[in-house]
Amino acid sequence: TDRKKLHTAPLGQAFRLRPFHVLVATGGGYAGYRKYEDYKLEQLEKRGIEVPVRLASEWEVALYKSVPTRLLSRAWGRLNQVELPTWLRKPVYSLYIWTFGVNMKEAAVEDLHHYRNLSEFFRRKLKPQARPVCCVHSVISPSDGKILNFGQVKNCEVEQVKGVTYSLESFLGPRISTEEMHFSQAPPGNSFQQQLVTKEGNELYHCVIYLAPGDYHCFHSPTDWTVSHRRHFPGSLMSVNPGVARWIKELFCHNERVVLTGDWKHGFFSLTAVGATNVGSIRIYFDQDLHTNSPSYSKGSYNDFSFISNNNKEGIPMRKGEHLGEFNLGSTIVLIFEAPKDFKFNLKAGQKIRFGEALGSL
């Protein structure tokens, strides 16, 4: 009897199911299944076959959210900081280069032994001549990436990919007080979209750029503008690749993001850096108070920070092409801005673009 107790007690404890473990296992398995489905959709698109939109149900989104992506992203961040032995650097980075098609000839430092850890390699700088900044067009691409969508904002809804939208107000949050902005007060009865448009005859435009893991991970100022305010939304860190963006409505509103708002010569201008799986760390160079991917946060919360003060009544001036921030892997940048009705994008949905190339102009 004693021997029986000795062997069965630990067995009972070993096979005791806990809710956290069930959620992680189920959510992780489902996330893997979704990755496989995304791969199949990509293959169909490459063959020119149009894929019908199928949005995730609430339980599917909840199941995906059960994966501890924030915890995994922090763990990945720490792993990236581990210094690699000199002899191991070239094999590790070469595998990454081969997997994601990185062009190291553009890097300021091509020698792989120079990068002490994965984080330094991800955030590598480019040679100055590698990305010439277009001087002709008024708005340039702030980063390397793939154009997911662009165009006019209609009915307070923005397309993250074709046919899948999200709410403009949910994405940007409540309108910032006019004391912090240089805009005139819009009539209170107007819609959120109309309140952002400050000049008669202007329209609101948007552009979504997806950064793949092999892309250059820094982002720059897309035009000459002044940053007045930063709003940080803690949130989930779900994947933002085109397959998932096509599947989850309001994906960008679920995920952690940093919204920079201000104005340019035509009125309202904003740039939003959206976090993703393994990309909880978003850095804005001039904002030392920003800390992303904290261990805990309140659902639906956000925090504001104004760059306008008694000593600085204008905000942070940014020149077109100037360094603005960086991701630690790759993610998405969303531009939402006001411009005259004759503003035209020089883009095609799905095209690859590089930092410095033209997005559009008047």
Is 114 known to be catalytic? no
| Spatial distance between the Cα atoms of 268 and 256, rounded to a whole number of angstroms | 22
Cross-strand partners of 257: 233, 274
Catalytic entry in 206, 220, 232, 254: 220
- Listed residue (126, 131, 192, 123) closest to 158, CA to CA: 192
In this structure, which amino acid lies at residue 122? Answer: F
Is 220 known to be catalytic? yes
Cross-strand partners of 352: 146
Which alpha helices (DSSP H) does 101-152 contain, by range? 118-122
SS3 122: helix
Is 331 known to be catalytic? yes
- DSSP string across 173-227: -SPPPGGGSSPPPPPTTS-HHHHH--STTEEEEEEEEEPPTTS--EEE-SSSEEE
Catalytic entry in 66, 119, 143, 144: 144
* Angle, helices 58-65/19-46, rounded to nearest 10 degrees: 110
- Whether the CA torsion 164, 176, 330, 238 is positive or negative: it is negative
Residues designated as active site? 144, 220, 331
